[in-house]
Amino acid sequence: MTLLFLAIIVLTLMVFAYNRIPLGICVAVLVAITVVLTELREVYYTPSWFRWMYGILAVTLLGFSIRPLRRLLISNRLLPIFRKVLPKMSDTEREALDAGTVWWDAELFSGRPRWRRLLKTPAPSLSAREQAFLDGPVEELCRMLDDWEICDHYRRLPEPIWSFLREHRFFSMIIPESFGGLGFSAQGNSAVVMKLASRNLTTAVTVMVPNSLGPGELLLHYGTDAQKNHYLPRLASGEDIPCFALTGPTAGSDAAGMPDTGVVCMGEHDGQQVLGFRLNWNKRYITLAPVATVLGLAFRALDPDGLLGEDPEPGITCALIPVDTPGIEIGNRHMPVGSVFQNGPTRGKDVFIPMDWVIGGQPRVGQGWRMLMQSLAAGRAISLPALGTSGGKMSALLTGAYARVRKQFDLPIGLFEGVQEPLARIAGRTYRMDAARRLTLVALDEGEKPSVLSAIVKYQLTEGNRQTLNDAMDIHGGKGIITGPNNYLAHAYQAVPISITVEGANILTRSLIIFGQGAIRAHPWLLKEMRAAGAPPSSKARRDFDHALFSHVGYVISNKVRAFVLGVTGGWSTRAPVRGKTARYYRQLTRLSAAFAFLGDSVLLVLGGKFKFRETLSGRFADALIHLYLASAVLKRFEDDGRPAEDLPLVQWSLDDSLYKIQQSLLGVMQNYPLPGMGRLLKWAVFPLGLPYQPPSDAVAQASARLILAETASRDRITEGVFISDADDAAGRVLNAFHLVLESADAEQAIRNALKESVTIDNYTSLVRRAVESGVITEEQATAVRLAQQAAAKVIAVDDFPKSAIEGFDKSPFRPASDRYAQADTSRTEAPAG
């Protein structure tokens, strides 16, 4: 009986913690229980210690709810200790931390995500203008592009493409209509880049850079009226081509440590002595630098003579400089692997610029890093995720088609389970990538700048592109590794490292930014504690610290209880916002959110400021947070699409894969917990009944693979938004063959059943004639089979070249037989620019 009564007390406290009942209400309930038990002690026997225990708990919690008392006894004593262990942060770290906003990531850190809030978020949509632009100029441009000619013949964009981009204002998607731009939403911007990338990466990058982090965006948010009125119309029309120089030979991932300087001084400009900067820089990897007319530059401002104020080092500053300014050198081109977009170094020696060339003018001197971080908080979620998703969609579109067309052992290779396994990964990952892309864009268009989620989609969608292309190459085999006009995978495969590396290398993004920044930025109390502890001593700072500290303690206790209870009940102690086959996933993600939040706090408590140096642990937490977000996006997408039953295999594959990866990431944290032996106790608390999640089943994987092996509505939804070629080019041929092979499948089966032979590209002529003569198929069916086999033969063919093209490295034999740009661009035989 004693154990029973103790269990009742513990259960009461767990109910309070699980539901996060405010302290005042907890005290009132405990007092009421004490009174009731006292009044009923003669009717229902309860030991006196049981009644008194509730009373003691009530008094204890009452003491904790009296803020002046707990400040005096606890928080004021802890504040000096907290200040000592607080991690030191540089100004650039602090500015990066403060950049952007929090959104659904804060819900995932809460341990109690409000799913109905997510489901009320608007579904993604394009405006009529944006859709018309995609259906008009973007579609027309895609038909003009030839990936092989651009990458292996011209090695740059031909002039007709540049002219088309300028004419239709492709460089102005982020510039408002009032300045002559298109003024598209984040979703419109992403959709354009994604469709172009599905046709030619060089064109997509050329378009995305002026519409991404760079002069246009910085001018919009921080430029003076004079700067906006001068530059934005010129950028919108393409009269000016911008680039932005941030990275240097010794400042890559550590861009804030750039050695490039600008010294405040007086100098001559337009015949007058004006205040400005004397600049020296050495930058590289600058996209569009070889063709740019205006250079955005980040540098460290120095003011040794105090011309601006008392600070001798105001900090990183951004300026906009015409490239014909004396002292500027644009170097030779870099050649990015797998693509030929313009990229190169730029240097400047003793370049004087007036102060009003600083973006935002003199008041913005020293604010460049904050400006860049604020812009990156949103912009990182648009361009590179669009490129990554485009790669996944094209892998699904073309690999599904190829796996149905290509036969081995008398069967389409897509029917073999060994091939269906990577096909399922392509389909499931692409579905999940697009879900995350769409959801994040909705947040941007709602006015959010979710810096942590932007880092997640940049990292995960570019990694997803790498994974899907690897699987696509494996399935294509020899077809994928022989270069030439017939290869629609090679350039995308070769170019994967570009998106992995730029805008924050993925290794850095995973190991330092996603959880390292998210643990502070998206945590409900940690940043408030740090700000209160770092503020000058005052009664307000002590009150703020006390409130944040005790709220944080309650939050940790609640998540510990929630993780355990949800683990014991298998997630059934929480409600799902929907019914049906996806309901269990909401419950499981709630369970894992609580476990993630609890383990994160426990590790931060043990390591304190040392956590910033434990990058492997941070990376594992990042993996868990990534898949919590990706899974949330999948559930939202399924609802936005109207819950199509046909998509359930994709939903199940994506979510089962994410649940398993979250589990393994948290398990990795516990196995490498900083306190020896503590990880086992935490594992019992988080997974009390063992490890519940397994990778996607074979049945789910095979069902997912089959969706892209046929012309299904699911396949259309997976590949929506990419260019569908109907021309006689590499992509068009495989899609045409796919359609014809499906159309002739019944006739082929009839021939196989009757003549006991399978139709192949080697025997179809005689086999079809015999089938018609014997009445097995009609002449119309025979024509369908012939067309399908002829189309299949074109698809499996690969390119070959004269020996001289290889032995002598003579590029001229590589020139395509049909050069669509020959008449419009007479410089095609000259050496590439730069």
DSSP string over 667-682: HHHHHT-SSTTHHHHH
pLDDT in tens, 502-553: 888 999 999 988 998 888 888 998 888 888 888 888 889 899 999 999 999 9
Looking at the fold, whether 591 and 459 belong to one and the same domain comes out as yes
Question: What pLDDT is recorded for position 827?
Answer: 40
Looking at the fold, whether 380 and 392 belong to one and the same domain comes out as no
Q: Which amino acid is at 470?
A: N
Average pLDDT of the chain to the nearest whole number: 91
Looking at the fold, whether 372 and 398 belong to one and the same domain comes out as no
Residue 225 lies in a domain: yes
Q: What is the mean pLDDT of residues 678-699?
A: 95
> Which pair of tokens denotes residue 120?
């009320």
**Would strands 407-408 and 411-412 be described as parallel, antiparallel, or unpaired?**
antiparallel
Tell me the catalytic residues: 503
Confidence of residue 280 (pLDDT cuts 50, 70, 90): very high
Q: What are phi and psi of 348, to 5 degrees?
A: -140, 140
Query: Cα(337)–Cα(25) distance, rounded to whole angstroms?
Result: 63
Cβ neighbours of 63 (radius 10 Å): 13
Kindly state the percentage of the chain with pLDDT values over 90.
Answer: 75
Read off the pTM.
Answer: 0.93
Q: What is the mean pLDDT of residues 332-358?
A: 95
Total number of domains in the chain: 4
DSSP string over 597-640: HHHHHHHHHHHGGGGGG-HHHHHHHHHHHHHHHHHHHHHHHHHH
For the cut 70, the answer to whether the pLDDT of residue 771 exceeds it is yes
Query: Cα(550)–Cα(75) distance, rounded to whole angstroms?
Result: 8
pLDDT in tens, 460-489: 999 999 999 999 999 999 999 999 999 999
Question: What pLDDT is recorded for position 192?
Answer: 98
- Is 96 within 8 Å of 68 (Cβ atoms)? no
Looking at the fold, whether 561 and 639 belong to one and the same domain comes out as yes
Query: Cα(566)–Cα(638) distance, rounded to whole angstroms?
Result: 25
Question: What pLDDT is recorded for position 4?
Answer: 78
Query: Cα(705)–Cα(415) distance, rounded to whole angstroms?
Result: 9
Residue 129 lies in a domain: no
Query: Residue 545 belongs to what domain range?
Result: 95-121+385-707
Q: What is the mean pLDDT of residues 165-188?
A: 96
Q: What are phi and psi of 286, to 5 degrees?
A: -95, 110
Q: Which of 18-22, 377-381, 400-404, 609-613 has the highest mean pLDDT?
A: 400-404
Looking at the fold, whether 332 and 234 belong to one and the same domain comes out as yes
Question: What pLDDT is recorded for position 817?
Answer: 45
Looking at the fold, whether 391 and 290 belong to one and the same domain comes out as no
Q: Give burial (CB, 10 Å; 0-12/13-18/19+) of 146.
A: buried
pLDDT in tens, 53-105: 888 888 888 888 888 988 888 999 988 888 877 767 677 777 777 778 899 99
Looking at the fold, whether 364 and 458 belong to one and the same domain comes out as no
Question: What pLDDT is recorded for position 829?
Answer: 36
Q: What is the mean pLDDT of residues 175-183?
A: 96
Least confident piece of the model among 46-60, 390-404, 655-669: 46-60
Q: Which of 384, 409, 433 is the last residue of a domain?
A: 384
Kindly state the percentage of the chain with pLDDT values over 70.
Answer: 95
Question: What pLDDT is recorded for position 42?
Answer: 60
Looking at the fold, whether 336 and 245 belong to one and the same domain comes out as yes
Looking at the fold, whether 298 and 191 belong to one and the same domain comes out as yes
Q: Which residues pair with 262 in a beta bridge?
A: 279, 301
pLDDT in tens, 726-743: 999 999 999 999 999 999
User: Number of H helices and number of E strands within the chain?
Assistant: 38, 9
Q: What is the DSSP letter of 257?
A: G
Q: CATH number of the domain at 541, please.
A: 1.20.140.10
Query: Cα(444)–Cα(378) distance, rounded to whole angstroms?
Result: 7
Helix residue ranges per DSSP H, 198-322: 201-208, 215-222, 225-237
Instruction: Show the 3-state SS of 531-565.
Output: HHHHCCCCHHHHHHHHHHHHHHHHHHHHHHHHHHH
Cβ neighbours of 541 (radius 10 Å): 16
816 Cβ neighbours under 8 A, 6+ residues apart: 146, 148, 149, 153, 485
Looking at the fold, whether 492 and 600 belong to one and the same domain comes out as yes
Question: What pLDDT is recorded for position 822?
Answer: 58
Q: What is the mean pLDDT of residues 599-614?
A: 87
